[in-house]
Amino acid sequence: MPSSLLSVILGDDPPPRLDKALARDVPDDAHLSRSRIARLIGEGRVSSGGIVLDNPKARVAAGDVILIAVPDEAPSHLEPEAMDLRIVFEDDDLAVVDKPAGLVVHPAPGTPSGTLVNGLMHHFGDSLSGVGGMRRPGIVHRIDKDTSGLLVVAKTDRAHHGLAGQFADHTSERRYLAVCHGIPDAADPRLMGTPGISAEPGGILRIATGLARHKTDRQRQAVIFHGGRHAVTRVAVERPLGPSAALISCRLETGRTHQIRVHMRHAGHALIGDPVYGGQRKISPHVAGAAEARSFPRQALHAETLGFVHPASGEKLRFVSALPDDLEALVSALSG
């Protein structure tokens, strides 16, 4: 694939690792996110003094001249598809979408079409730039197929680089609403005795664990305490919904796959409707809303709030999405 050569001279006191040093010193106008730099290193596209540097942990020093062969923009293999999308904000750099439950974000082997990305490509038309080296909307973060709510997508490399940095640094705001089994209580000895769970002022539960793929089910995530990816979720009870459920808010400090769902299961308060992490827990048939809870067809999870700094203008943006009709109906039924 044709490529352009980018020369980077490492400044004073660089991080000792190649990947971190490049993330610091690559010019902003190159629009290379940290994740893309890592991919380029792995692909053998980074060199110094004629030697390929394909180890992200390679030692570097101030003054080193690093060459990066950045592939030229390529046509996407993805096909645009017309679909109704709720675009709540859009400009030349990015768009914020309120995704309905049931819509997959990005094509995968089991879902090659009919995804949010296919719809965005149709909506954006020729306004896309080369995000990650390919003409397509840049998925900065994802939400599960059966989770509803807000996500931001990049239309340019500049936006993708800036947004990805905010998500990596945990400076973006992400707040979810969910309906869980039981009513989490920081005064509950069982909950406070669960590894990784602690109480913070205001009745906030802090869940901090490692997350990794389940040993026997590769489609699931599992809580671990040695290794894995660090994950922190803060949970607050918005209000009890009868005696057997609660409307909760979850703020993400990190954004790992299935993070809220697996953390709430770990806490013993799995989300209603969760087919993967819900276990066998059922609401008593004698409780108001039990029938609606037992038949709820998806995890009761909604990405309600999304905030970030616009990567081009520097403006602070914040968006809020109301609960969708199915979750509103569930909350109403459980409230009696």
Closest CA to 123 of 136, 111, 132, 134: 136
DSSP letter string over 274-289? Answer: -TTT-TT----TTSTT
Closest CA to 288 of 242, 237, 246, 239: 242
Q: For this structure, is 144 an active site residue?
A: yes
Closest CA to 159 of 95, 247, 116: 95
Q: How far apart (Å, rounded) are the C-alpha atoms in residues 104 and 145?
A: 5
Closest CA to 263 of 237, 287, 233: 233
What is residue 120's three-state secondary structure? helix
Considering the candidates 19, 93, 144, 188, report the single residue annotated as catalytic. Answer: 144
Taking the alpha carbons at both ends of the chain, their separation in whole angstroms is: 62
Residue with tokens 């089910």: 217
What type of residue sits at position 31? Answer: H
CA atoms within 13 A of residue 101's CA, in its CB half-sphere: 19
| Active site positions, annotated | 144
